[in-house]
Amino acid sequence: MNVMICDPISPKGIALFQQVPEFKVTVLEKRLSEADLIPLVAEVEAMVVRSETKITRKLIEAAPKLKVVGRAGVGVDNVDVEAATQRGIVVMNTPSGNTISTAELTFSMLMALARKIPQAHMSMKAGEWNRKSFQGTELYNKTLGILGMGRIGTEVARRAIAFGMRVLAYDPYLALSRAKALQVELLELDELYPRCDFITVHMPMSDETNHMINTAAFAKMKKGVRVLNCARGGIIDENDLITAIKGGQCAGAALDVYETEPLPGDSPLRQLPQIIMTPHLGASTEEAQENVGIEVAEAITDYLLNGAVRNAVNLPNLDAKTYAVVKPYLNLANKLGKLAAQLAPKRNDRLVITYGGKAATLPTDPITRSLLKGFLELAGGRDVNQVNVRSLANSLGLLVEEIKSNEEIDYNEWLHVAVYSGDQKVSAGGTFYGSHNHPRIVRVNSHPVEIVPDGVIFLMSNKDRPGIVGHIGTLMGRHGVNIAGMSLSRQQAGGTALTVLNLDSVPSAELLADIQKDPDISNVRIAKL
């Protein structure tokens, strides 16, 4: 079996591959482009990458024997996971190998930023002795704002507290009880920004976090704030950062990641002495590289020789026979999780998953993980997978409960999720119609419905009155939105009803505004499944 190691990994990881008699191991001496790699992968069955080599759809199509891609690191941004999944290729990562290294880099950057160590170093190298130019500030009694309290954010908080800093945190998915246990004060962004001397981001890249630190955000911050980004390039808008530094609103920044990598030589970031920079070194420690190299080698070897799946981002950890049995439920659970996440508040305390009928006889862990993946994707972005969802839920303080029910209802097999946030509860349930090829959502907040769990879902509460269906249909038609399916549910005639529509496209803001003008309509929501 041909194993190709495309990017540098630890010698111990390479040695683990090389000691397997069945493997023919090729170690590339330098990073190759897609065009250069394509002629080399026709016989390759496993590929190992870090962040440099990109596993694209074209590359996957050129590798008909490829079975597994291993990423020696956490993110899989450089792997086309969808294309790999369509081909039945397992994509694995190493979810915990670089947590400490990235946290320590962040804190090192924090100290260097506070004391202007890199600038003083360069001055000394230039033969100068200029003490007055490098007066810094102490961390003790200063306030650090951490945006994102996952594994790395939590480790940064622990180090900051040890240095006598006050730690404020923003994480819309972190439970208050978890924040209290971590000794951080949980705030909304508008409350956090004006109180912080330093702000560091540890969030995934998503539509929600892209350029979240921008001109408007800087305007809300304390004058002289210092910001750090060792997470994902693009969370801080680089142009707005430059403007904030030149205008004096931001006193400095420490960056390890950038919107374009490698950072162009003529980037204006390089011209500002207030910005200290490193070339994406978050995982660049001997220990982290050794850990992820060994971890990816062991996972790929176990898969190729024994068929065991672990640390996969696109496949549960199951043997082939069990996977075939639970596969329909993985899809249904993922859709229920996505729906619940879009209907529930961002910050939740407890999630209860109930298995009923034949579903109660299945192995629940992979199904629960699939549901959690759907539910937590808004919180964790592209880094969320079946491997890390339980630890992510735990880090957010989200208690996950599983119940196997023997309650007799109208369905032979069913799955139900309830999300609790204080006194609020959101729930959804699903089953299959006819065969496992026809999943349906059959409960939303205790209302019986029949929804195809796919595409754009429109939900609203409305007074049960004559003409409401025609009114909604007319408005949808006027705005060019086609209704693919409809489900109506009411508790009693003339009371409050739930209307759910499958739509062919996302309604415009203008359409939603027109719908909400009706005083008998409330709680209009759009969910994308």
Strand order, beta sheet including 44-49: 24-27, 2-5, 44-49, 68-71, 90-92
- Pick from 95, 153, 142: nearest CA to 114: 142
Extract the tokens encoding 511.
Answer: 């359409």
> Does 153 or 315 have the greater pLDDT score?
153
> Does 284 or 60 have the greater pLDDT score?
60
CATH class label, 2-96+287-315 = alpha beta
> Do 55 and 290 meet the contact criterion of CB atoms below 8 Å apart?
no
> Do 523 and 447 meet the contact criterion of CB atoms below 8 Å apart?
no
pLDDT at 386 over 80: no
**Four-way CATH pick for 99-277: 3.40.50.10490, 3.40.50.720, 3.30.413.10, 3.40.1390.10:** 3.40.50.720
pLDDT at 320 over 70: no
- 131 an active-site residue? no
- Pick from 222, 278, 218: nearest CA to 243: 218
Counting DSSP H helices and E strands in the chain, the numbers are: 17, 22
Q: Where in the chain is the domain with CATH 3.40.50.720?
A: 2-96+287-315, 99-277
> Does 204 or 386 have the greater pLDDT score?
204
Q: Give the tens place of pLDDT for each residue, 184-219.
A: 999 999 999 999 999 999 998 888 899 999 999 999
Among residues 50, 151, 178, 280, the one annotated as catalytic is: 280
Residues paired with residue 527 on neighbouring β-strands, in sequence order: 457
Mean pLDDT value across the chain = 92
- Residue % of the chain over a pLDDT of 90: 77
Among residues 71, 159, 202, 232, the one annotated as catalytic is: 232
Measured distance between the N- and C-terminal CA atoms of the chain, rounded to whole angstroms:
39
How deeply is 130 buried, as exposed, middle or buried, from its count of CB atoms within 10 A (0-12, 13-18, 19+)? Answer: exposed
**Residue 77: per-residue pLDDT:** 80
**Residue 342: per-residue pLDDT:** 95
> Do 212 and 182 meet the contact criterion of CB atoms below 8 Å apart?
no
Instruction: Average the pLDDT over 490-497 and give the result.
Output: 86
**Residue 428: per-residue pLDDT:** 96
pLDDT at 49 over 60: yes
Position 317 confidence tier, pLDDT thresholds 50, 70, 90: low
Position 233 confidence tier, pLDDT thresholds 50, 70, 90: very high
Among residues 82, 128, 138, 261, the one annotated as catalytic is: 261
| DSSP H helices in 225-349 | 238-246, 286-306, 320-343
- Residue % of the chain over a pLDDT of 70: 97
What is 199-219 written as a DSSP string? EEE----STTTTT-BSHHHHH
This prediction has a pTM of 0.72
3-state secondary structure 17-55: HHCCCCCEEEECCCCCCHHHHHHHCCCEEEEEECCCCCE
**Residue 298: per-residue pLDDT:** 93
- Pick from 284, 230, 219, 220: nearest CA to 253: 230
What CATH topology corresponds to 455-529?
Answer: Alpha-Beta Plaits (3.30.70)
**Residue 82: per-residue pLDDT:** 81
Extract the tokens encoding 214.
Answer: 């921008």
- 34 an active-site residue? no
- Going by their DSSP bridges, the two strands 90-92 and 68-71 should be labelled as parallel
pLDDT at 294 over 60: yes
DSSP state of 508: P
Q: Give the tens place of pLDDT for each residue, 321-373.
A: 677 788 899 999 999 999 999 999 999 999 999 999 999 999 898 899 899 99
Chain-centroid distance, C-alpha 363: 25
Extract the tokens encoding 1.
Answer: 């079996």
Taken in order 368, 371, 375, 378, the sign of the CA dihedral is: positive
Helix (H) or strand (E) holding 515: helix 509-516
**Residue 454: per-residue pLDDT:** 94
Taken in order 275, 278, 280, 282, the sign of the CA dihedral is: negative
Q: How many CB atoms lie within 10 A of CB 85?
A: 14
Q: Cis peptide before 262, with omega less than 30 degrees from 0? A: yes
Q: Phi/psi at 221 (nearest 5 deg)?
A: -85, 160
Q: Where in the chain is the domain with CATH 3.30.70.260?
A: 455-529
pLDDT at 123 over 80: yes
Q: Give the tens place of pLDDT for each residue, 402-449.
A: 999 988 888 889 999 999 998 899 999 999 998 888 999 999 998 999
How deeply is 67 buried, as exposed, middle or buried, from its count of CB atoms within 10 A (0-12, 13-18, 19+)? Answer: middle
Q: Where in the chain is the domain with CATH 3.30.1330.90?
A: 316-443
> Do 153 and 379 meet the contact criterion of CB atoms below 8 Å apart?
no
Question: Three-class SS of residue 359?
Answer: helix
**Four-way CATH pick for 316-443: 3.30.70.260, 3.40.630.30, 3.30.1330.90, 3.40.50.1100:** 3.30.1330.90
> Do 456 and 526 meet the contact criterion of CB atoms below 8 Å apart?
yes
Q: Give the tens place of pLDDT for each residue, 57-105.
A: 999 999 999 999 999 987 788 999 888 877 878 899 987 778 899 999 9
**Residue 79: per-residue pLDDT:** 93
- 261 an active-site residue? yes
**Residue 394: per-residue pLDDT:** 87
> Does 500 or 75 have the greater pLDDT score?
500
